[in-house]
Amino acid sequence: MNKKKTHPCILGIESSCDETSAAVLSGFDVRSHIVYSQMIHKKYGGVVPELASRAHEHAISQVVESAFDQCGCRPAEIDAVAVTCGPGLMGALLVGLNYAKGFALAQNIPLIAVNHIEAHLYAPMLEFPELEPPFLCLLVSGGHTMLVDVRGLRDFEILGSTRDDAAGESFDKTARLLKIGYPGGPVIDTLSDSGNRNAVRFPRSLLEAGSLDFSFSGMKTAVLHYVNQKKHITDRDKADIAAGFQEAVVDVLDEKLRRAVKRSGHKKVVLAGGVAANRRLREVLGKTAERKNLRLYYPPLEYCTDNAAMIAATGVMYYRKGMFSSMEVPAVPNLKLTSGSEG
């Protein structure tokens, strides 16, 4: 295999939700990484799809140009362009996908359509390029919470997934109940520092004995009932509630991971997704890994949330295998994580 195939120069583009991101990678070496986060959604307490699409249209050309400026390379040096094709918001996905198709046609290079969820599985490789499947991944984000047995590229089995709210979604909803800001994950993580995680004990929904599925809607409802019963909530109360809620979520994630490790026999464990940035989760899973003699991998903070670097990293692996997409590949808002080709 020649050097170009081993270390392809890949442009990654991500626009599935409310971040417009572009990155240039040489192999797994990140040469540039730009993320434009849409602040307009904060006042609504959640992402407004139409506003997101407009913001992507406005930002994408400038974001890609900034990525090239940061790494000092030219479009002609790119070997392939990798882009999120789903899941996500239809309008937002189309902005990135259409831009990537135009770029690939203009440069006469391959297009690589990437499943956004699969890209999260490989995000730790940006920090640990020696990491290779097979491994167990706990993927925890705003839209997804699942345990995945990763056997190889596009070869995996979902061992457990959420039956209602994803963990990140429950953080957002709880933050909205407490009126402490958006997105919920970072604000609850920060507020918990000044709270007592044992002051308020919320239920841990573990479902049936041995189940690897998740359910977080009951935790959010428990917070609502607690707030309604207390009536007057002080800043100190909010900190204690945030800490107690976070502890409940982390306990569930930790227990499910331990069950999955026992069932799968994996010794390599990956933590990925936006909630992987949570400091308490990293601390607890780190202790579990130490006790169970596991190797725990997680991405740097900037690669936990939606970003183009993980899209490009996935593109590197596809490129090495010659797994390219046609120019007719569609945006698929409800794209699932399944073994096989995406198209």
CA separation for the pair 269, 136 (Å, rounded): 5
* pLDDT on residue 338: 83
For residue 221, give both structure tokens.
């409802």
Q: Indicate whether 42 pLDDT > 70.
A: no
Q: Burial of 221 by CB count in 10 Å (0-12 exposed, 13-18 middle, 19+ buried)?
A: middle
Q: Where are the domains of the chain?
A: 3-126+303-321, 135-298
For residue 10, give both structure tokens.
């890949």
Confidence of residue 45 (pLDDT cuts 50, 70, 90): low
Q: Indicate whether 4 pLDDT > 50.
A: no
Cβ atoms of 10 and 67 within 8 Å: the answer is no
**CA angle 169-120-330, nearest 5°?**
90
Task: Give the pairing of strands 9-14 and 111-115.
Answer: unpaired
Amino acid letter, residue 27: G
For residue 182, give both structure tokens.
């958006």
For residue 55, give both structure tokens.
């913001």
For residue 56, give both structure tokens.
């992507």
CA separation for the pair 269, 45 (Å, rounded): 33
Query: pTM of the full predicted structure?
Result: 0.91
Query: What CATH number is given for 135-298 in this structure?
Result: 3.30.420.40
Q: Indicate whether 195 pLDDT > 90.
A: yes
Q: Indicate whether 340 pLDDT > 90.
A: no
List the helix and strand counts (H, then E) for the chain: 10, 10
Cβ atoms of 326 and 153 within 8 Å: the answer is no
**What's the pLDDT tens digit per position in 136-190?**
999 998 888 999 999 998 899 999 999 998 999 999 999 999 999 888 999 999 9
Task: Give the pairing of strands 268-272 and 155-161.
Answer: unpaired
* pLDDT on residue 74: 96
Q: In Å, what is the CA distance from 137 to each residue of 106, 203, 209?
A: 37, 25, 21
* pLDDT on residue 17: 85
**What's the pLDDT tens digit per position in 274-299?**
999 999 999 999 999 999 999 999 99
CA separation for the pair 245, 322 (Å, rounded): 45
CATH topology of domain 3-126+303-321: Nucleotidyltransferase; domain 5 (3.30.420)
Q: In Å, what is the CA distance from 45 to each residue of 40, 97, 145, 241, 242?
A: 10, 27, 21, 19, 17
